[in-house]
């Protein structure tokens, strides 16, 4: 069995995580997870190889752990990328996923920040694995409605609810947050969203990623084409893609 080096959790560097190579039993458990449920698969995989509850980790801890595992267990870390460049052409290149680790940084300070909006205090936290699983389920639901009925009012309302839930997941101790938010004036809510986003940026940790609609993408290092246009490509790095088939 390949030994995978332990790593520090990006959101809490004093927490050392031991990690082992996946077993056949792990692959069987993963096969039970629906293909669309990337975050649920990530939980099954990381819980098995790390022996911890990875739903409690941040979304970025989980992405980092997956990449760490991949780099340490696969000989070939290249990922084929094809993208539409701002220069108007489509380019292809091979990204060495190891280079993504160059952008690694541990969190600066604790994984929570106090913010004050119009005199009210909130504690902001990064999105957790558990939050990502819920947001992913919402996205799958929205995609299903959109597929069946098109992008009507039902989809618009569900998307709004999903954005609201994303905000709620970023605020700690959020039991009554939903009822509080719906009563807020739009101006207050906008200030809250901006303050939350700023706090989340301050807490950036792990590798460079971007969140969109219940999905986390890894960002490639800046890639320059022949026409000198620099692009950072989004990589949908899913654990279901690299789990070995037997």
Give the shortest CB-92-to-Zn ion separation in angstroms.
11
Give the shortest CB-87-to-Zn ion separation in angstroms.
3
Question: Footprint of Zn ion on residues 161-220 (CB under 5 A)?
Answer: none
Note whether 81 binds Zn ion by CB under 5 A: no
Give the shortest CB-96-to-Zn ion separation in angstroms.
20
* Residue position matching structure tokens 């911890």: 52
Q: Binder to Zn ion among 27, 81, 85, 103 (CB under 5 A)?
A: 85
Q: Which residues of 132-152 are buried (b: 16+ CB within 10 A; e: fewer)?
A: bbbbbbbbeebeeeeeeeeee
- Specify the residue, 3 or 227, whose C-beta has the smaller distance to Zn ion: 227
Question: Footprint of Zn ion on residues 93-112 (CB under 5 A)?
Answer: none
Note whether 87 binds Zn ion by CB under 5 A: yes
Q: CA–CA separation, 200 vs 60, rounded Å?
A: 12
- Specify the residue, 56 or 87, whose C-beta has the smaller distance to Zn ion: 87
Give the shortest CB-217-to-Zn ion separation in angstroms.
20
Give the shortest CB-84-to-Zn ion separation in angstroms.
9
Helix 59-73 crosses helix 38-50 at what angle (to 10 degrees)? 60
- Specify the residue, 153 or 222, whose C-beta has the smaller distance to Zn ion: 222
Q: What mask, x for binding Zn ion by CB under 5 A, covers residues 216 to 245?
A: ---------x-x-x----------------
Residues that bind Zn ion in the complex, under the rule CB under 5 A: 85, 87, 225, 227, 229
């Amino acid at each position: 069995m390949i030994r995978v080096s332990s790593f520090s959790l990006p959101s809490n560097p004093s927490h050392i995580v031991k990690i082992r190579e996946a077993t056949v039993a792990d692959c069987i458990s993963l096969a039970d997870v629906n293909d669309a449920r990337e975050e649920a698969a990530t939980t099954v995989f990381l819980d098995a190889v790390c022996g911890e509850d990875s739903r409690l980790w941040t979304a970025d801890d989980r992405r980092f752990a997956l990449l760490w595992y991949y780099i340490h267990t696969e000989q070939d870390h290249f990922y084929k990328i094809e993208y539409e460049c701002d220069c108007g052409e489509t380019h292809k290149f091979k990204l060495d996923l190891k280079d993504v680790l160059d952008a690694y940084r541990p969190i600066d300070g604790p994984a929570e920040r106090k913010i004050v909006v119009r005199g009210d205090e909130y504690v902001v936290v990064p999105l957790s694995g558990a939050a990502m699983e819920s947001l992913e389920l919402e996205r799958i639901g929205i995609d299903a409605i959109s597929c069946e009925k098109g992008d009507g009012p039902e989809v618009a309302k569900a998307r709004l609810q999903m954005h609201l839930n994303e905000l709620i997941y970023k605020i700690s101790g959020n039991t009554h947050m939903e009822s509080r938010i719906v009563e807020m004036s739009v101006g207050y809510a906008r200030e809250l969203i901006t303050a939350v986003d700023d706090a989340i940026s301050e807490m950036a940790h792990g590798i460079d990623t971007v969140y969109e609609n219940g999905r986390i993408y890894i960002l490639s290092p800046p890639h320059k084409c022949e026409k000198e246009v620099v692009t950072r490509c989004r990589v949908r790095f899913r654990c279901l893609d690299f789990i070995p088939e037997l």
